[in-house]
Structure 1
């Protein structure tokens, strides 16, 4: 369980630190856009009240608490799953990514009423209108990692020792 805890903690801190630096210290919340390596990377402020790409952002206050509850329920379920069944280290790290990212976005919803998204990546000739954050990357990577690496609880402790 140490891998889950440490991974979740590192992701949570990286997410919140990056948001604090970019949104508050660099004042992205006032400037709304900062070109870093245009068009490849920009900081573009977006307060996301829904889920990915702003989906389900209607009834913002109600949806805010529904999404907080959902993120906490999923994080708790993943935590209990990792505690209950022996899993390879890669699955435990993936669960830490997912939990740390989910808790980072939960804190945003509690503090601001929305998730602070600021990373925007495009390519020449194609402008991406969507922004994301470190927590979103971790949640996505964690979900993919769980699909790829989590076992059914049988023989995975042995596999975890041999795979690293």
Structure 2
């Protein structure tokens, strides 16, 4: 594999995404009392009741889904499958030179966030989640972390880029 500017860009986005996620999780684990069976997590108000930090160890995937699966199925669905998918996506973006810069950033953010959460599952047996947003009941998130934010942001960027490309192709078809 040649280390072109493009490859370095991809690796840099992945590494920075992982670093930001892991540093934030270390800070949360070291400074915020986690939830236990006997007491709720310490809640730190960042912006009133709208933006809150807490420390929750998630043994499942998104919003805890899969935490009650048997151990073998959990390993397959939460470790092996994500590693395979992340590997295929990484291989794709390294090989396909036609991918635009925004899509590269989005895919690399998704890969970095995915790797960060898989790392947590391997090393800690769970993923540390800590952000919670509640916009007065109109919009409320589950508890999430920086890796989740990177994956979500990457997906939103890919959708927006896709709409932009579709709009361009529709305009070209109308002009012809």
Higher relative contact order (CA 8 A, sep 6+): 1
TM-score tier after normalising by the smaller chain length: 0.7 to 0.9
Aligned to 1:106: 118
2: CA distance, partners of 1:62 / 1:91? 34
Residues 1:40 and 2:45 are matched in the alignment? no
Aligned residues: 149
Displacement after TM superposition at 1:61 (Å): 3.0
TM-score when normalising by structure 1: 0.80
2: CA distance, partners of 1:126 / 1:90? 30
Query: What are structure 1's unaligned runs of at least 5 residues?
Result: 151-164
- List structure 1 runs of 4+ shifted beyond 6 angstroms: none
Aligned to 2:83: 72
Aligned to 1:143: 155
Query: What are structure 2's unaligned runs of at least 5 residues?
Result: 1-6, 163-176
Once the two structures are overlaid, the 10-residue window that deviates more, 75-84 or 10-19, is 75-84
Larger Rg: 2
Q: CA RMSD in A?
A: 2.2
C-alpha deviations, 1:36-66, integer Å up to 9, x for none? Answer: 2221111122222222111122126334422
Secondary structure at 2:151 match in 1: helix
Residues 1:133 and 2:145 are matched in the alignment? yes
2: CA distance, partners of 1:46 / 1:112? 13
Aligned to 2:132: 120
CA contact (8 A) 1:98 1:140 kept: yes
